[in-house]
Copies of this chain bind each other. A is one copy, B any other.
Amino acid sequence: MDIMPGGVTSPKGFRASGAHIGIKAVKAEGVAPPKDLAVLVSDAPAVVAAAFTTNRVKAAPVLWSQRVVARQAPVRAVVVNSGNANACTGDRGLEDAIRMGEATAEALGVEAEEVLVASTGVIGVPLPMDVVLRGIPQVCSALAATPEAGEACAEAIRTTDTFTKQAAVRMEIGGQVVTIGGMAKGSGMIHPNMATMLAFLTTDAAISREMLNRALKASVIDSYNMISVDGDTSTNDTVAVLANGLAGNPVIAEDGPDFAAFCAALHALNTHLAKLIVRDGEGATKLMEVVVRGAADVDAARRLARSVTTSNLVKAALFGADANWGRVLAAMGYSGAPFDPAGVHIRFTSPGGSVTLMEDGEPLPFDEDQALQVLRESEVRVEIDLADGDAQAIAWGCDLTYDYVRINGEYRT
């Protein structure tokens, strides 16, 4: 499945907009003010599927959006602000999230219950509602179906992200071209369990709510849930996909080749966006891909792969290009997943070459210079084989750097 340039406005019938309304501070004169409000609209009622943070402390907009999705009715729009998470803001926070939805609905001429709301940024500070309510109609008035509008929308959901994350995929279903577009943001508090970031996907596919839901749930497990930046699971994170049916394909309402094609495309896009989030992890200089093969079952494979990507010691060693593979095995050991240490194979590969460190549980002598060549690259793959079955999983993480500490030591100030 080929990933194409594009974003949330790539499918038919979606308009988007993003602008600076004043939630984020303007950094300096002459510098473009940072966008902080995004609106996304479907021209036709869209079925929606979504997954939300597993954190027990859920931000106010998550509570609202969960209600919207629980209605099992079509939705029309998404409004997102960045710069303030509206999390841990008490009763007032929930009222503010509802008012964001209402104000957006009013500007668009739809119902508040048809508007998903999301927020991202600092926790524990009330939203500046005068700014938000003044900004929403302004941003809605600039809605457009152009690539530029999609880009502005994707830009407006960023926090510490250093680049905008969007892409699209295209397939043919029942003789019709179907497109899925998406945008996402990271880049701290990123950790498995769908508690990790914001991602919004749009598609003009005609698909039932039930099948859309199944497609999203299946994909999230092996995409967003397999990335980790810092092991912290956020209060706000949301993945939602809106399908408005305007592609005119026969409605996907059951298993079969059409559903399989849609699932494959959706998963390719989700995996692409998830990897972009990790690549842009706070302070990250390297992407780590951990492949666990030969596991007894896929759950064990996932837990092992995720434990390695989450280990501070592995991440710091990656930053230092130190082939300290023992930390990989130690992280597997405390993952809670069963495996036999005596069967483990470990290999590091990258565009710089490859180096095998352990075979059948025995450490191998290796060339330090060769290992350095491998680990110096900006993408490093850790290949683990357990020789214990056929299951496999892949997780993505990044290195732990001085900049991660700097960014998170001074985030609020």
Q: B-contacting residues of A (Cβ < 8 Å)? A: 54-58, 85, 87-91, 122-126, 188-189, 191, 193, 195, 230-235, 310-313, 316-317, 319-320, 322-327, 329-335, 338-339, 341, 357-358, 361-363, 400-402, 404-413
Contacts and interface: CB of A to CB of B under 8 A. Distances in A.
Contact of A312 (B56, B232, B363): B232
Nearest to A324: B412
Contact of A413 (B189, B320, B358, B400): B320
Contacts of A316: 404-405, 407-409
Given A235-B333, A361-B90, A362-B91, A322 B413 contact: yes
B324 A411 contact: yes
Given A57-B341, A124-B357, A326 B88 contact: yes
Contact of A124 (B311, B313, B325): B325
A322 B232 contact: no
A271 B85 CA distance: 38
Contact of A56 (B341, B362, B408): B341
B357 A313 contact: no
Contacts of A322: 409-413
Contact of A401 (B333, B334, B362, B405): B405
Nearest to A232: B313
Contacts of A58: 333
A26 to B, nearest CB: 21
A57 B330 contact: yes
B411 A317 contact: yes
Contacts of A335: 56
Contacts of A312: 230-232, 312, 404, 408
Contacts of A193: 334
A332 B56 contact: yes
Max chain B C-beta neighbours (<10 A), residue from A193, A230, A333: A333
Nearest to A54: B334
A123 B329 contact: yes
A362 B92 CA distance: 9
A310 B58 CA distance: 20
A413 B316 CA distance: 13
A189 B319 contact: no
B333 A55 contact: yes
A405 B316 CA distance: 6
Contacts of A230: 312-313
Given A402-B402, A408-B317, A363 B88 contact: yes
A358 to B, nearest CB: 7
Contact of A330 (B87, B401, B410): B87
Given A232-B331, A326-B124, A313 B408 contact: yes
A87 to B, nearest CB: 6
Contacts of A404: 312, 316, 405
A312 B409 CA distance: 10
B334 A56 contact: yes
A195 B125 CA distance: 38
Given A195-B334, A230-B313, A334-B233, A124 B362 contact: no
Contacts of A405: 316, 319, 400-402, 404-405
A232 B327 contact: yes
B413 A87 contact: no
Contacts of A409: 316-317, 319-320, 322
9 contacts: A87-B330, A124-B324, A124-B329, A126-B363, A191-B334, A231-B231, A232-B334, A312-B404, A316-B409
Nearest to A323: B412
Given A330-B189, A334-B195, A123 B324 contact: yes
